[in-house]
Structure 1
């Protein structure tokens, strides 16, 4: 009967000119190599043939660990399983799992859904993946990613106050993992409970804005403002176009074609929601007002330059300061002009799609399958000119008459 293997016995075994083994019973042995390396091996029989299973190198693998490995192999043998084949299969599964990274699953998910998505949706998904998910998760095996790891990714998004992005990201993470499970790429979905740790997202509040019946009084107060002509024109431009305040105050001369009466906001422009491009028709009143500013700021990048540094745009509090100065603090905000214009145009009976496009709501690629960034431009040009004329009339009237459309714009 072979002597029991002990650490002392293995440690004292000296290398010889040829490899030899010392046995410890039940097939467990240690091969001593001429160079001094000592390998644990398990000799066993399967299907009538003698086999050998490697259990590691001493002392990196301890005797206790080697004995545990041998005991596990004997359990498999009693179950009719070849330990060597079992190990080979597990290694193959592990290699496959390593190849099944988050990036791999995400790319298959995108490819699968591309035919059913609109171009804008596809672009949005890729932007979210490239910016927020792939940098930290891309190379990670799907099965190794934990809920805590995904939670950390979402927390980074929430810290920059992008709660809508975080919400969409949670949905897409769950969808990617559901797809991966169905494809056999992983067995679990760590994204399934992420909603329970989402930050509370309050209901959006409308920005303060006056009613249409107050418009004549407001416009008269605005017209009598005798402060900065830049701030005053910026305020009027917000009324004439309904563009976002941040976009309006950072308007660049390079974005304007006054001869054509167009303001083109390029894709990726800072301050533009989700970086969409947008074309704004300019009514004649806006063109005239902007031309009066060319001798003042035409040599600078920005139309509405900063008071202290003409290389920078107007501050974000400039229009707020004007509204306070004319007595409308808390009653009307720069962003509230968008609500005011939207209400008026809808009450005038204009097509809702024209109004939504003028307000740059949503991606232009998603509007009724039209893939022209200047969708409804002709209709909107007529609509916004009529709106500017309406403001001009309101400025000169004592009582605003019932809101009505001047003429039927071509549909």
Structure 2
């Protein structure tokens, strides 16, 4: 006899599984008592191609008796046409999974996870934050194969309208990389971001301000020596021109990375922009600064900890704020500027080999055979270069008194 809603509601789990038939192969499956979260569900037994098969229609009461009967009739129509309803259901489920995995956000996260293996943790987090803030909220659920140039342009213009034209251009560049990854994995046919090249206002890349006149560099070093702020910030500023690493790498320096015996600072790739380890040879002047700083912070993780909490690194604005306090504007000098100073003067004044300078700057450098340098390449030569550089800065520092050479007087 056919089932009724009343009979279904009254049916309770027992010590054995139950199959309440509604006819035509449709039945309500009731698991035995004590089988956890398993609930009543509609199932259809049928034959196709000479084989008996089973189709799970769905759980009761989410799928009502009426809906289950409708599904049975639709399945029978498919069987008459030689179509297997169970296989059809599996195919639809697979298509749904593939669609979800091919949304812009899913593909972007897949690309990011792969690329992050070659990036520093900081840079990886920065790229993901930009995507989460600027791209995903607007087109994250769009299948990447259906993403239109006009949709992406709308997103980029939202970023531009916030006064962040550089960020808009950078987001376009990143989205282009994601689309090229989608091309390689068979999700889209082409990267259309080059078509948007002239759709945004041109952006002129801003280089980090730096001083490259040796006389003025000497005056800057003397100003740093006379800085009256915290000892930790002063030590960081004194070390910065000697090692010329990126500001983020400097403030995240840890005592466990400093080897006084070998006179080396080994920065792990997880902290580097390009994800590669870097050895920074320490001159005798750098060692002296670090040993003095060790008396202050040697019991903590970071060489230059935050003034608010020694468990965190120094703020990324600490050195910039120190420059402002000394009367140096951001258009005249930044923490990044020490790298430009070293790059210019090591080459143009000291005549050091460009490949050694570039390698010490942690830029991508290859030998004559196209092989990438590793962290130990030309280490003896780089140690000599770093000591010569420190000695040269010492000469510049000693050649005169503190003189204001910036837009504001240092005494203001």
Query: TM-score if structure 1 supplies the norm length?
Result: 0.57
Measured in 2, the distance between the counterparts of 1:148 and 1:363 equals 36
1:237 counterpart residue number? 239
- Pairs aligned (count): 310
Which structure's CA Rg is the greater one?
A: 1
Mapping of residues 35-114 of structure 1, within 5 Å:
35=24, 60=70
Residue 378 of structure 2 is aligned to residue 376 of structure 1: yes
> CA RMSD for the aligned pairs?
5.5
Mapping of residues 185-264 of structure 1, within 5 Å:
189=189, 191-192=191-192, 196=196, 202-210=203-211, 211-264=213-266
Residue 293 of structure 2 is aligned to residue 293 of structure 1: yes
2:280 counterpart residue number? 280
Question: CA separation of 1:321/1:97 partners in 2, compared to 1, >3 Å: closer, same or farther?
Answer: closer
Question: How far does the alpha carbon of each residue in 1:245-275 deviate from its partner, in whole angstroms, 9 at most, with x for none?
Answer: 1221232111101121111111212xx3244
Mapping of residues 334-345 of structure 1, within 5 Å:
334-345=335-346
Measured in 2, the distance between the counterparts of 1:58 and 1:221 equals 83
Cα pair 1:323 1:329 within 8 Å, conserved: yes
Question: CA separation of 1:162/1:361 partners in 2, compared to 1, >3 Å: closer, same or farther?
Answer: farther
SS in 2 for 1:301: coil
Displacement of 1:325: 3.5
Mapping of residues 396-407 of structure 1, within 5 Å:
396-398=398-400
Question: CA separation of 1:174/1:312 partners in 2, compared to 1, >3 Å: closer, same or farther?
Answer: closer
Cα pair 1:249 1:315 within 8 Å, conserved: yes
Question: How far does the alpha carbon of each residue in 1:85-141 deviate from its partner, in whole angstroms, 9 at most, with x for none?
Answer: 9x9xx999989977977979xxxxxxxxxxxxxx999946xx98xx969xx9xxx99
SS in 2 for 1:264: strand
Question: How far does the alpha carbon of each residue in 1:370-401 deviate from its partner, in whole angstroms, 9 at most, with x for none?
Answer: 352233322221111111100111112249xx
Stretches of structure 1 lacking an aligned partner (at least 5 in a row): 1-14, 16-32, 38-56, 71-82, 105-118, 400-411
Stretches of structure 2 lacking an aligned partner (at least 5 in a row): 3-21, 27-66, 103-113, 402-412
Cα pair 2:175 2:193 within 8 Å, conserved: no
Displacement of 1:281: 0.9
Question: How far does the alpha carbon of each residue in 1:150-205 deviate from its partner, in whole angstroms, 9 at most, with x for none?
Answer: 959x98xx89997687455434444345446xxxx67x637435863997683331
Displacement of 1:243: 0.7
Question: CA separation of 1:174/1:235 partners in 2, compared to 1, >3 Å: closer, same or farther?
Answer: same
Residue 318 of structure 2 is aligned to residue 318 of structure 1: yes
Cα pair 2:280 2:360 within 8 Å, conserved: yes
SS in 2 for 1:279: strand
1:170 counterpart residue number? 175
Question: How far does the alpha carbon of each residue in 1:21-60 deviate from its partner, in whole angstroms, 9 at most, with x for none?
Answer: xxxxxxxxxxxx95498xxxxxxxxxxxxxxxxxxx9985
Displacement of 1:280: 0.8
Measured in 1, the distance between the counterparts of 2:306 and 2:23 equals 82
Cα pair 2:257 2:267 within 8 Å, conserved: yes
Cα pair 1:263 1:282 within 8 Å, conserved: yes
Measured in 2, the distance between the counterparts of 1:147 and 1:362 equals 35
Displacement of 1:238: 0.8
Question: How far does the alpha carbon of each residue in 1:1-33 deviate from its partner, in whole angstroms, 9 at most, with x for none?
Answer: xxxxxxxxxxxxxx9xxxxxxxxxxxxxxxxx9
Measured in 2, the distance between the counterparts of 1:283 and 1:244 equals 18
Query: TM-score if structure 2 supplies the norm length?
Result: 0.56
Question: CA separation of 1:385/1:167 partners in 2, compared to 1, >3 Å: closer, same or farther?
Answer: farther
